[in-house]
Amino acid sequence: MNKEFCPECNNMLYPKEDKTEKQLYMACRNCEHVEEAMSNKVVENVFHREFTEEIDQETAKDMTMDPTLFIASVKCDRCGYGYAVYFEPKGNNPDLELKICYICKKCYNIWM
Ligand SMILES: [Zn+2]
Ligand SMILES: [Zn+2]
């Protein structure tokens, strides 16, 4: 995936999904700059992750460090922290389809 940079301040842009509009944006975390992502291919590549329910703490931790994953402002049940990365799990378990998986950025708690 090509990294995109903010035309205003040259920081890296991060994908951000507008759930109500079902539109993906690239947003700068340094300034207010937001632009539309070029294609749905980005959604496909970025939003889906191979996932098994036995995901270990190390893997979960790595995923929270992944700069291409979306960040939601949701509250973690375990530690109360306000941000978690989220993605659509993709695996061979049909029960997981259409679910959204969250991982707390602080304690790596995983929930759906
Ligand atoms: Zn910027
Ligand atoms: Zn937490």
Same domain, 60 and 91: yes
Instruction: Enter the DSSP assignment of 12.
Output: B
Compute, in angstroms, the gap from residue 9 CA to the centroid of ligand 2. 31
Q: Do residues 55 and 88 both lie within one domain?
A: yes
CA distance 105 to 107: 6
Distance of CA 53 to the CA centre of its chain: 18
The reported pLDDT for the residue numbered 79 is 97
Same structural domain for residues 97 and 57? yes
Q: What is the pLDDT of residues 58-67, one digit of tens each?
A: 989 999 998 8
**Residues β-bridged to residue 14:** 27
Whole-model pTM: value is: 0.57
**What pairing do the DSSP bridges indicate for beta strands 23-28 and 34-36?**
antiparallel
Closest ligand by atom to 77 CA? 2
Do 60 and 95 lie in a common domain?
A: yes
The structure tokens listed for 62 are: 């790595």
- Between the CA of 110 and the centroid of ligand 1 the distance, in Å, is 30
Query: Do 37 and 71 fall into the same domain?
Result: no
| Cα–ligand 2 centroid distance for 10 (angstroms) | 31
pLDDT (0 to 100) of residue 95 = 73
- What parts of the chain have a pLDDT lower than 50? 1, 40-43
pLDDT tens, position by position, 79-90: 999 999 988 887
Q: In the numeric block, which tokens belong to residue 78?
A: 């375990």
- Domain containing residue 88: 51-111
Cα 26–chain centre separation: 12
- Say if residue 1 is in the same domain as residue 38: yes
For the chain, what is the domain count? 2
Whole-number pLDDT of residue 10: 92
Strand partners, 18: 23
- Which ligand has an atom closest to residue 76 CA? 2
3-state secondary structure (DSSP) of residue 62: helix
Give the CATH number for residue 16.
Answer: 2.20.25.10
